[in-house]
Structure 1
């Protein structure tokens, strides 16, 4: 049905594009609702007669099933929508706010098949460089949010010497397991959900799913709670780490589209960036390789590509990190922002960016721009 086989009788509406739905959207067979992940449950509640079809854990001895790896928006619809669930023998039973009693569901069936288990992405040398720059700025006892992929894995790998970190994150991934088992993540300094690892969904290998199964130290909560900037902001020293596709000299981040071509969605990036901004002593990192396509295309641009969707606005962005350094933007003037961004661009692109900055009246002619990268 993703390819429009049923016409308007059954049409897929996405809140985030995956590799599967991306091409279907481009061909006009799928619709996309721009939204922050935290507000999706509220949008879904407004639908006419919503029905939730979800994969869950097998029932426990009390008749409760768990939403397992996917608490996110489904848990917020418990009591507000009819549920039909598939009890998969291989779905972990997780704690938190994702339990539903079989007496509450409209129907259920049993299944036994492996969960989607993408192999961890091996970080590149550039990923490790960026990960190290971020990790050295994270203090002991901080609470972190990160995602999945090469750069997030590199950040987590660089945190091995830290102590008493906490986790409050949208996505739980394999990279967290070693930090827990090595005593890096304890959560003892957290203010909200002290000692608990909090997330809203999980994606990883079977090792991750086995780690989550009946693990009382891990709690999956609804996304309207986990991604709520007001909740995040209650945690002192909160650190958010998110990737972008393109960022301009003012700090505007286009993280969901390549020009006018929609690539994914807003997800939780803006939620966590705002939460880190509200947190006392919080930090928000936006990470990106300085270039793409073998160095020919700069990810730092004077102006975003026409048609690009701004995911995180300039006033929210705190620090931008490439392999060439860290640009600290919060509280800086437009001229200082432009200079800081040019300094972390690839050296071959800096002169062009500087010339553009002068033409845009962001910096004055003759202004000094760092030659060795960011701070």
Structure 2
């Protein structure tokens, strides 16, 4: 690469799983040691092992990380980026960050590129990218072919642009690194081997693939998923975002299909069918899926595969001439090891039903628009936000102070599509409240200093307390709908703010029906049906003891300022005896505490285990 490329190397790497880490590290080290050369990396979602934020987290994470990630090669540039130690001759520009991981990295924040996923190929081509490198898969049954596997997303959109520049005389390299564990995906993801100017395949990479373990789904998320699932129409189209709320939606759709009576009981205990009867009848449904859904999602999440195997995703769509029909179009995938294993085990003819393709096809409506409109009927684009204003603007990527949590990704693309497709709806899932270090706050606010989805594109917002249909409503109606799904502990303050701004009449009063939006009501309402709401609906990489510890650490993080000794002391007063949880303490290296500090950690863990014990149904 260095011999063929003169001057600066402007290298494009796929987001997420498809990065050839060892090649990237070798190039990074070589250029770091030679200040006469320059390197700019264009990428997204640079994946690194999770880092502990406290001593207790480290005790939990270290054994788990070692077991899960094995010999996964860490990215050298990510290590230096986290420390703010990139050399002067190397720059990293990302359009999506591993969520929350680089909030305090000045180089990452300064060189973040804010753009829609569907515009990335255009933008990095305009920056003069002169090399592209990614992991690829090989299948002995397909001689002369390779698969872009987990990441055809940007590559397929970028290649025609690079070809034009090559024809104009520019030197541009396409580099592939064969990975033996990467699933071989056919269809658009399959390319000719001679596409690559340089191919590393002697032998292929065998290192552990990066994986994302399924995280627990709590009652708050399960309730959100249940409400949202009733808006999905049989025979329609489904896009699901990343995270535990997406897993909760998947879980609810699986219950709807496998135990429809139990599903109805859950909706009724949440008062969902009575509160939202008209909307559900008009735009959703609560019956089993007989026609099936077609998936159109930038990320093939494990939940979509689970839905396909359960018969929920089964509506195949007509592809372009000469191509087989598929039940899903996706741009990239990332998930647990069991998910990769399932894809590796699937016969090639079964994999043909998964259409991994360019992100320009998935996230855009234009280009092949007639075909897409026919495919994407009754589309439900379901994503998450961490804040929504009373006027319906969504926040999902950036804090008020400008620091980026993650990125816009494709969320705006899908929201815009929902407004353009006949029968389409955008659904933003939102936890109505949060608790951090013992402080409660509302995620529904009067205003916020940044928006990802502007209020003129507001559509449907779902919290654990219900559904707010905002489309076409005036501002006062939107505010009332948002108040109806807000936590009751914050409703009065929000009403005052809206009235002070002149957006609600002075005589306005919220219906008493929505004045009992409390976690206690949800816990009581679902008590007899908790067995239908699994903590890990899509499988789990944690042992049983680790699940208990994960809940305990989550409770401690939400309740305590771990830097304050007084708070720590209060938490340990009612902790049970060590004999109650010997295996858990051993797992944390606290079975025989050495000194006062470890004794305090032991008491904290015991207090957390007691407080967070999962209740029986």
C-alpha deviation, 1:265, in angstroms: 0.7
Q: Which residue of 1 aligns with 2:311?
A: 183
Corresponding position: 1:334 with 2:475: yes
Matched, 1:7 2:143: no
Kindly indicate whether residue 362 of structure 2 is the aligned counterpart of residue 223 of structure 1. no
- Structure 1 counterpart of 2:405, from 260, 263, 282: 263
| More displaced stretch, 215-224 vs 46-55 | 46-55
- Structure 1, residues 69-112: CA drift from partner, whole Å, max 9, x if none? 11211222235152111100001111232233232212121211
Distance 1:373 1:55, change over 3 A: farther
Alignment partner of 1:368 out of 509, 521, 545: 509
Q: How far apart are the structure 1 equivalents of 2:147 and 2:217?
A: 33
Match of 2:136 in 1: 56
| CA distance in 2 between partners of 1:75 and 1:223 (Å) | 8
- Show CA shifts across 1:290-342 (max 9, x none): 011257111100011x3x2x111112121001111111100000000011111
Of the three residues 150, 172, 185, the one matched with 1:69 is: 150
Tell whether the 8 Å contact from 1:228 to 1:275 is kept in structure 2 after alignment: yes
Alignment partner for residue 301 of structure 1, among 431, 440, 445?
Answer: 445
1:207-252: CA deviation from partner (whole Å, max 9, x where unpaired) = 3223434311101111111111445655210001110011111111
SS of the residue aligned with 1:87?
strand
In the alignment, which residue of structure 2 is the partner of 1:276?
418
Partner of 1:40: 120
Aligned partner of 1:320 in structure 2 is 461
Aligned equivalents of 1:314, 1:97: Cα separation in 2: 36
> How far apart are the structure 1 equivalents of 2:294 and 2:442?
34
Question: Counterparts of 1:319 and 1:119 in 2: how far apart (Å)?
Answer: 29
The aligned residue for residue 286 of structure 1 is 428
Counterpart of 2:180 in structure 1 is: 89
> Is the deviation greater in 77-86 or in 25-34?
25-34
- Give the TM-score taking structure 2 as reference length: 0.57
Q: Distance in 1 between matches of 2:408 and 2:174?
A: 27
Partner of 1:209: 340
- The 3 A distance-change label for structure 1 pair 28 and 357 is same
SS at match of 2:111: strand
Q: 1:125 to 1:105 in 2, by over 3 A?
A: same
User: 1: CA distance between counterparts of 2:232 and 2:187?
Assistant: 27
CA drift at 1:27:
5.4
Distance 1:371 1:56, change over 3 A: farther
Distance 2:511 2:365 in 1: 34
Structure 1 residue runs without a partner (length 5+): none
Q: Which structure 2 segments of 5+ residues have no match?
A: 1-76, 163-171, 258-287, 516-617
Return the structure number with greater helix share: 2
What SS class does the counterpart of residue 258 from structure 1 fall into?
coil
Cα distance per residue 1:181-232 (max 9 Å; x no partner): 22111114x4667543111011112332234343111011111111114456
Give the 3 Å change call, closer, same or farther, for CA 123–355 of structure 1 in structure 2: same
The answer to which of 277-286 and 344-353 deviates more is 277-286
Are 1:150 and 2:244 an aligned pair? Answer: yes
Relative to structure 1, is the Cα distance of residues 59 and 25 closer, same or farther in structure 2, using a 3 angstrom cutoff? farther
SS at match of 2:415: helix
Point out the structure with the larger strand share: 1
Verify: 1:105 aligned to 2:196, yes or no: yes
Comparing 175-184 with 247-256, greater Cα deviation is found at 175-184
Question: Could you tell me the TM-score, scaled by structure 1's length?
Answer: 0.92
- Cα pair distance change 1:24/1:8, threshold 3 Å: farther
Distance 1:23 1:367 in 2: 40
Kindly provide the CA deviation profile for residues 335-364 of structure 1, in whole angstroms up to 9, marking residues without a partner as x.
000111111111010000000001111111
**Structure 2: how far apart are the matches of 1:174 and 1:191?**
24
Q: Is the 8 A contact 2:116 2:408 kept in 1?
A: yes
More divergent stretch after superposition (131-140 vs 208-217) = 208-217
Cα distance in 1 for residues equivalent to 2:206 and 2:128? 32
Residue 54 of structure 1 aligns to a residue whose secondary structure is strand
Whether the aligned pair in 2 keeps the contact of 1:143 and 1:238 (CA below 8 Å) is yes
Q: CA deviation at 1:259?
A: 1.6
> What is the CA-CA distance between 1:5 and the residue it aligns to?
4.1
2:293 to 165, 188, 193: 165
| C-alpha distance in 2 between matches for 1:221 and 1:28 | 29
Alignment match, 2:390 = 249
The answer to whether the aligner puts 1:141 opposite 2:235 as a matched pair is yes
Contact 2:175 / 2:198 at 8 angstroms: preserved in 1? yes
Quickly say closer, same or farther: Cα 1:93–1:131, change in 2 above 3 A. same
| Structure having the higher Rg | 2
